Structure 1
């Protein structure tokens, strides 16, 4: 990888857009493509991936690296694959290098117009979308070419829509724009043109917000170099089927994987909040809000401060709740005196920490700092994983330091000055599954299908509302500040 020289100012600022350009044997068009991309009216960086070109493209890029960049030119980096691997492999090679707020894929031919970048990224930048597809088949100018080629595209889109339950009009479009952090969080496996179907299947399973905008299209004729190969179409069909069956949605960030899986456990999240609701006031601080699985139940409160240490999660919270005037998003480290002092003036009557304290090594300090955040009479709702005999690789993988009994969790709050108002075990139904997966099979990840099955069984948990089980997967303790 090489970085072309550029003004220092361009290197310091995060660009609005990252343009990824996979290149393979495009010596005839690459110069003009780069001119068009450079001329697009967006602050951007350009990442070029040469996928084993042998027609002079690589030599052109080597020369480009050594040539001085014009003043004000966009930052540009060039990467090289030693052998041809395909479009998907090229994108995967550089996606973690992207620094822009939005990332878009640009083919190295002249079929697509970079002047349309603003329309493609507008809905992402204004917070209304996570992914935008530029559709060649919506109303927009396009060159009239081949019926069978267009029919093939429409059939592949139809097949993809059947398995993803989306209503896209152009799955095979080159122009796909993503919030960069989201694209970087998705594992990309396809090497070739199966990339288009794979990423579509995954954004559908993640239930991301997808927009389509019409784009112009000036496709090449076969004489001009347009290719249609049955092998590529079959790659797409195979990817559609594989990623319909396979839940391969997350990189190594196991905490995000757990949060996304629990996002899909809507019945359980709703049941859990119902156990907390009698103790929740109108001015709420939620610690470790993650991606908003519980925050969404707090939108009717007078004031909500949703906090998380992760910038990725805070951005996710802003995406979902940024238009709610009474919901604020902040960072809060319970082990930081500075953070606690900064937010101590919120006059909170409720602090919620669901599955948070077990991640903090100095749990007693964290609880004492929660005490400082509350006004007199305020309540602290703490949910923690229960029973040391359930501790397993599942806990270690997501960063748990410990599991608690109800007595231990209550003592933690009492020692910090709280009066205990409520304590009980929750979710006895989940204990067998956790024990078998974690203690018997030593799994580090809870299988997604098991979580979905458990969510269907959540109506059985209503019986816990009539009796207090002697054990459970979690312990809920509510303390009140005198």
Structure 2
């Protein structure tokens, strides 16, 4: 049986090392062909050097490789690897992705060792480990060895399983299905944080991660791309890796299953919950006040629900097209939003000729699995000079019972939402937190008490106390602090 794979090299135009690396890749690919493996090679170059890309194509041809070079997204190492993952998934023949560095510290001739272990153990991710038994590390200075071992240890508190000794190395084998399951949650992680996050998210999804020993060599040439800022960022990202992996684990394991005496997901009634929120006129008005200065004259509101926001926009002189795919909710929009044009569909249901000054998503994007594809579609419906305005739940650490029963795929990180917008072809004009005061009450209600319905005095408290106080805090802090939600405004890139 022929197995097909992709060798992924994310580079910064490493002209000093790429020839040796591709030579070793070609040697390994040739050996693997005898065992019914067939590999293509993809170079994702973030360095922007046209001569380097031509060099890669020339070398690939000389070594008999099926090689392609893609221009990187200029979003760091993590962004370049995700770009490569997307290219791999676009090819239905690719079953495995082997990722390794382009500086020569990974010996591509050890690909066979990783693949044998991967297949033999039925693993989802196989890591070429410097620190497992049999591994060797000659390519790190004493200081970098200490940093690597320390970060590996600390990552065990951020969702990386304890049997994984080297979660920060990039020499790995991924199954196609593994990439499909973890790639979205890795958006926004960069540098060495990306690799730890990949293992933590895979573990949270119940995937198998194993290690096999490798020899880690000194660089074959050029200067190391490691900078002090990357180390600082990796340390800073540890709590976020923990919160994201925790969110994924709660979502996967059915966090609501541990709750007692509350509604099950099957009993969740969107119309009922939105009806409860319709009794929050103060908070609705404050949210619209926050968004209105960035909303143009013509608006498409995606996921209008019962028309709570729609009605406010119409009253304030906007021409609104409200979209709601749920037929039970759609029939009631006009109760609060007379004067708006309404459609029982998603954005994809509009004709391509329909364009607007603003596309508005209020508590909607978190319900969409492929939010990047959604925002790519959004761009097609924006007039010149238009924008997208987004209000979403934030802080993955808050993901609890209400998120689960509401069908939330995620709560967003600031870096994640920024990266999502950029990957969809937008430039972020502003992004900031909203509702700092609501963080603790939400955590107590839906993480600790595990409530799964709205109602009671809590809704009145939210409307008349928490949101007004949060607006005051935002003004005092000039919107620089954290928030239970995120507000983002972005414009299409030319």
Q: Normalising by structure 1, what TM-score?
A: 0.49
- Structure whose CA Rg is larger: 1
Larger RCO: Structure 1 or Structure 2 (Cα < 8 Å, ≥ 6 residues apart)?
2
TM-score (norm 2): 0.48
